[in-house]
Amino acid sequence: MKKNGILNSEISKVLADLGHTDELIIADCGLPIPEGVRKIDLALTMGTPGFMDVMDAVVNDMKVEHIILAEEIREKNQAVHEQIISRMEKEGAGTSYLTHEAFKKRSAKAKAIIRTGEITPYANVILQAGVLF
């Protein structure tokens, strides 16, 4: 049995397979998943698991060099936006923004999308993999 880190075998496998600049998305329960992109569905009930719980667990196991958020999160979900920025500043990751429509189009190139039970607006992040050396 695995001793540390993420226990979910699908997420663990995706993280192990990521290369530099590959993208992984953590999403609220409403983000559409493009056909052909692997969906890891963690949603149990409305709000469970929460976005930040999942993001924290993934970021603890993944080197992230950059994140991408929807511009709309700044105004429509300030609390989650502030939590994401605070967490990613600790990682030294850069941040950029796209419109929500552009974010949804960009999600087609993700290696996987982890769907949470989050029910607040625009609680989605693209995590771009860094490199450890």
Which residues belong to the active site?
20
Residue 56 dihedral angles phi and psi, to the nearest 5°:
-60, -45
Choose among 37, 51, 105: nearest CA to 82.
51
CA dist 112 and 4 (Å) reads 22
**Residue 4 labelled as part of a binding site:** no
Three-state DSSP string of 50-95: CHHHHHHHHHHHCCEEEEEEECCHHHHCHHHHHHHHHHHHHHCCEE
* Residue 17 labeled ligand binder: no
Q: Are 116 and 28 in contact (CB under 8 A)?
A: yes
28 is known to lie in a ligand binding site: yes
97 has binding-site annotation? no
With H, G, I as helix, E, B as strand and everything else as coil, classify residue 110: coil
60 annotated ligand binder: no
Annotated binding site for substrate: 28, 100, 122-124
Annotated binding site: 28, 100, 122-124
